[in-house]
Structure 1
Amino acid sequence: MNALERPLISPRLDAWAANAVHCTVHYRLQADAEPDSLCRVLNLFALQFLTPHSVNVSQRDDLLDVAIGVGGLSWHRAEVIAQKLRNLVCVSEVCLANLPQLVEVASR
């Protein structure tokens, strides 16, 4: 089977919010400036078969300021991912915003 004959893998369905409106969300977080921190953060999106449309990282002292934009999520799924980010030992703060409405969710 060549590359053109392979079936396309569809994005993972959100069973908890199948009828919910999908939105574009923006995560802002601070993580330890360690070599594996960015990998740990981005792995949570990869495990959900999500590819962020934007990732911006800057280092300030011993912290990484990370901004991640992802489309096609229900708000419920976006909140679940934010909570998983908060559970990472290397992450100290997570803010989540729905870009069209700019609704802020409290950080940890």
Structure 2
Amino acid sequence: MNSLDAAVLFADTDVQRGQDLPLRASFNITTEVEPEVLCRLLSYFTQLGLVPERIVACQHNDLLQVTIEQLGLSLPRANVIAQKMRSQVSVFEVALELTSGLPDSVTKAEMTTAAWRQDDAFAQPQNRQVAPQRSQQTAG
């Protein structure tokens, strides 16, 4: 899989509509040590049908340092996720770092074309061979 395919695979719908180029968002979170805090933080990605690229959690005394990295987010979407994380009572701080998610050689037009091809491939019927079902004969 080349870098363009990877960018299209992880691009969210905002990016596919051409609103922004995809970004690599790194959410650096400081929170209380609670059993359900990781599930809550990851739920924001689950609701979008995304699986983060990288998740690191380290406990230091009474604090939990969590880093979540996600490729393919638009700037508005990354900001909304960060704001929702900040609204949790057990979260003390969320720092959002954004970097370009695409190599310099990949243009917005190339990504849009690749996304269109990917959508078209899913629309095409696939040749599937279905095994014949055995009919059950009753003894009579």
TM-score range, shorter chain: 0.7 to 0.9
Structure 2: how far apart are the matches of 1:94 and 1:11? 23
Uncovered stretches (5+) of structure 1, i.e. residues with no partner: 1-9, 101-108
Which has the greater radius of gyration? 2
Partner of residue 44, structure 2: 44
Structure 2: how far apart are the matches of 1:36 and 1:30? 14
Structure 2: how far apart are the matches of 1:99 and 1:33? 29
3-state SS, counterpart of residue 99 of structure 1:
strand
Partner of residue 76, structure 1: 76
TM-score (norm 2): 0.59
Query: How many residues end up aligned between the 2 structures?
Result: 91
> Segments of 4+ in structure 1 off by > 4 A?
none
**Partner deviation per Cα, 1:54-82 (whole Å, 9 max, x = no partner):** 00000011111001100000011100100
Q: CA deviation at 1:99?
A: 2.8
* Contact persistence 1:85–1:91 (CA under 8 A): yes
Structure 2: how far apart are the matches of 1:20 and 1:12? 10
Map 1:10-21 to 2 at 5 A.
Answer: 13-14=13-14, 18-21=18-21
Identity of counterpart residues, as a percentage?
36
Partner of residue 63, structure 1: 63
3-state SS, counterpart of residue 13 of structure 2:
coil
Structure having the larger proportion of residues in helix = 2
2:43 counterpart of 1:53: no
* Contact persistence 2:14–2:20 (CA under 8 A): no
Structure having the larger proportion of residues in strand = 1
* Contact persistence 2:12–2:72 (CA under 8 A): no
Structure 1: how far apart are the matches of 2:64 and 2:18? 34
* Contact persistence 1:12–1:49 (CA under 8 A): no
Partner of residue 89, structure 2: 89
- The residue type equivalent to 2:56 in the other structure is N
Uncovered stretches (5+) of structure 2, i.e. residues with no partner: 1-9, 101-140
TM-score (norm 1): 0.75
* Contact persistence 2:25–2:98 (CA under 8 A): yes
Partner of residue 136, structure 2: none
**What is the CA RMSD across the aligned residues, in angstroms?**
2.2
